[in-house]
Structure 1
Amino acid sequence: MARTASAVPRAPRLLQVALLMLLLVAASRRAAGAPVVSELRCQCLQTVQGIHLKNIQSVKVMSPGPHCAQTEVIATLKNGQEACLNPEAPLVKKIIHKMLNK
């Protein structure tokens, strides 16, 4: 005797509807207050203690937020490369201060 689709046990219809409702509620809560960010992770995985000021073209300081829990300092060098600087290093604090006062 051949098996038909009706011979396969299925969850009761009410359980299916309840599961679908639960998934929809969970998805809507996750999307409701979600901030829009361009990067969803930290950009700096490793940092350096400092770079000589004459090699730096610009500095970008990114505050902690939903994308990353730490302050990130990204220096664009005159040769086009980017370097992540340790925001707690005294030399980096001095570089940021000088760049802001320019």
Structure 2
Amino acid sequence: MGKQKKKQKKRGNPLWTLVFLAALAVFCFSGYKLIGIYLDYKTGTDEYRDLQQYTTEITKTPETPAPKKTEEPQAESEPAELPNRSRNHCRIRQNRRLPLILNP
């Protein structure tokens, strides 16, 4: 037996080669689509930049402050006696509002 055997190149599993080629194709196609999106975005921003020469900027003039009203502090009047503790609790709850949650 010779010590210097020719090493044979071992080919990989054809299934893994196919998976690799499919992944490479997806990667290339995604890059192509991203470049297309970027170029569309760039043409839009260039168009807006060109249209900016036709617009004018409106600046607000500073408004004169209105005279402040002097309010006298009003003394808070507390009820002499709370008739029922549960009624007071309900009155506090009626004044609370929960945030409005809308489903998308």
Fold match by TM threshold 0.5: no
Normalising by the residue count of structure 2, what TM-score does the alignment of the two structures yield? Answer: 0.29
Normalising by the residue count of structure 1, what TM-score does the alignment of the two structures yield? Answer: 0.29
